[in-house]
Amino acid sequence: MISTNQFKNGMTIELDGVLYQIVEFQHVKPGKGGAFVRTKLKNFKTGAVIDKTFRAGEKVEQAVVNRRPMQYLYNDGSDYIFMDTETYEQINISKSLLEEEAKYLKEGTNVLVAMHEGLAIGVELPTAVELEVAQTDPGVKGDTASGGTKPATLETGVVVQVPLFIQQGDIIKVDTRTGEYITRVVV
């Protein structure tokens, strides 16, 4: 059991038998009445984000979540297949569990798989990944590095805004938390 005073972003708690990850929290001390903690919680099973308010100092159950380093191997249609980098054991993770993360997964990507009671409950991506630009409009002569942006479809199918000088076939670094272009990777 932990107190609401110990909340941190990314912490996993259990409420009524359901696992939630703390996306955001804020301690509030109103002028009158007791202090409370306003939170945004992400349901691990459904991916839904809910708002929940706790009294300050209220106790909640902290879920024990182990994070194991794994490598993404391939997608078999309904599941994503990962391999434990230490034991070489393979596990399947349902497509519905990785809707956001799947946009940045390419074969060979190393990730942390969150496990709770022997079941995979989520994947933590590296903060930035390198992906190839599969399709984008060609740049026009005179485009500069400080100019505007254009949409580019990457090899995984995700669309990001990139500077005008980026061309098809370039490899770029993308922030997995925000989905924004970081830099072009020189090969």
Domain range for 71 is 66-124
Residue whose entry in the numeric block shows the structure tokens 């929290």: 25
Q: How far apart are CA 46 and CA 23, in angstroms?
A: 15
Per residue in 130-174, pLDDT tens?
Answer: 989 988 888 665 655 566 788 889 888 889 998 888 888 889 999
Would you state the pLDDT for residue 173?
Answer: 92
pTM of the model: 0.69
Last residue of a domain, one of 74, 91, 124: 124
Phi-psi region of 10 (alpha: psi -120 to 50; beta: other; left: phi over 0): left
CATH of the domain at 52: 2.30.30.30
Neighbours of 100 (CB within 10 A): 11
Per residue in 68-121, pLDDT tens?
Answer: 899 988 888 888 889 988 888 888 888 777 777 888 888 888 988 888 887 777
Question: Does 10 score more than 80 pLDDT?
Answer: no
> How many structural domains is the chain composed of?
3
Last residue of a domain, one of 38, 62, 86: 62
- Give the C-alpha distances (Å, rounded to integers) separating 56 from 10, 15, 63, 126: 19, 16, 20, 33
Pairing of strands 36-43, 49-55: antiparallel
